[in-house]
Amino acid sequence: MADPGAKPLVAATMRRAALSPAGLVSPHTLSWIGIGSNRGRALSLCRRAVARLRGHPCLRVVVLSPWYRTEPVGPVRQSWYINGVVGVESRLGPQALLRLLHRVEARFGRNRRREKRWGPRRLDLDLLFCGDRVVRCRLLQLPHPRLHQRRFVLRPLADIAPDFVHPRFGKTVDTLLQEVDDTARVERLPQCGTDFRQESGDLVAHCDGTRFPRLPVLASRIGLTIAWIDP
């Protein structure tokens, strides 16, 4: 059944993109999005958020990391998080993609104006990289300015993009993970994957180790190196 909230979200995204010179970029830009939640049914929320992204016509979900249970970072006492990373192919520029992510967060109940800094999050969608773009403006910084300090981001990202090079530091994600000083615990959840099948028949990676024969074709087309993940 079609999501009744999908059409307004799609229309708003396209209107915003059309108004901005940076709204649309060339096809096949690969972006990496961090996903997290520690309120309610956190794992279910994260999976539903990925499904929402997958259903958007401006995006193509390419690869999904394993899910991790992660120790909170910061001074606020709170529940542990569920975290993961998803790779999406999109023609949306960085600002338009960020606005889309914020609208998805809002649809899942997040209110950025009322939440406490370092506090619990019903849903957190962080734009980590948008290709190799470097952006510095009031509302957006790319790459994400703190991702290299966060094990809960680097661990799942390294599972699916270990050789991706940080455009500012010139280091691979795997190297950043080895060098990070963050001692917060990050525990992989067992058997946590979800099969996502594009309407075109393309398949994305499955984090419990299932291998899909058509994925190398898709990965080759967008220049993505897939690291198969064994359980």
Residue 4 has pLDDT above 90, yes or no: no
Please pick, among 54, 126, 151, 202, the residue that the annotation labels catalytic. 126
What pTM was computed for the model?
0.74
pLDDT of residue 229: 35
Inside any domain, residue 195: yes
The CATH number given to whatever domain includes residue 167 is 3.30.70.560
Candidate list 99, 121, 150, 155, residue with the active-site label: 121
| Catalytic residue status for 121 | yes
Q: What is the DSSP string of the chain?
A: ---TTHHHHHHHHHHHHHHSTTSEEEEEEEEEEEEEE-SSSHHHHHHHHHHHHHT-TTEEEEEEPPPEEE---SSS--PPEEEEEEEEEEEE-HHHHHHHHHHHHHHTT--TTTSPTT---S-EEEEEEETT--EESSS-EES-TTGGG-HHHHHHHHHH-TTPBPTTT--BHHHHHHH------EEEPTT-----B-TTS-B---TTS---TTHHHHHHHHTPPP-----
Q: Is residue 2 part of a domain?
A: no
The answer to the question of residue 36 being in a domain is yes
Catalytic residue among 110, 150, 151, 155: 110
Whether pLDDT at 161 is above 80: yes
Which pair of tokens denotes residue 69?
């249970």
Can 208 be counted among the known catalytic residues?
no
Note whether residue 229 is domain-resident: no
The verdict on whether 163 is a catalytic residue reads no
Q: What is the pLDDT of residues 171-200, one digit of tens each?
A: 999 999 999 999 999 999 986 544 444 333
- Whether residue 7 lies inside any domain: the answer is no
Per-residue pLDDT of 79-116, as tens digits, reads 999 999 999 999 899 999 999 999 999 999 888 777 77
- Cα 129 to chain centroid distance, Å, stands at 9
Residue 10, domain member (yes or no): no
Which region among 16-30, 115-129, 169-183 has the lowest average model confidence (pLDDT)?
16-30
Tell me if 129 is assigned to some domain.
Answer: yes
Q: Is residue 75 part of a domain?
A: yes
Catalytic (active site) residue 155: no
> Into how many domains does the chain fold?
1
Q: Given 124, 150, 151, 159, which residue is catalytic?
A: 124
Q: Which domain holds residue 176?
A: 23-222
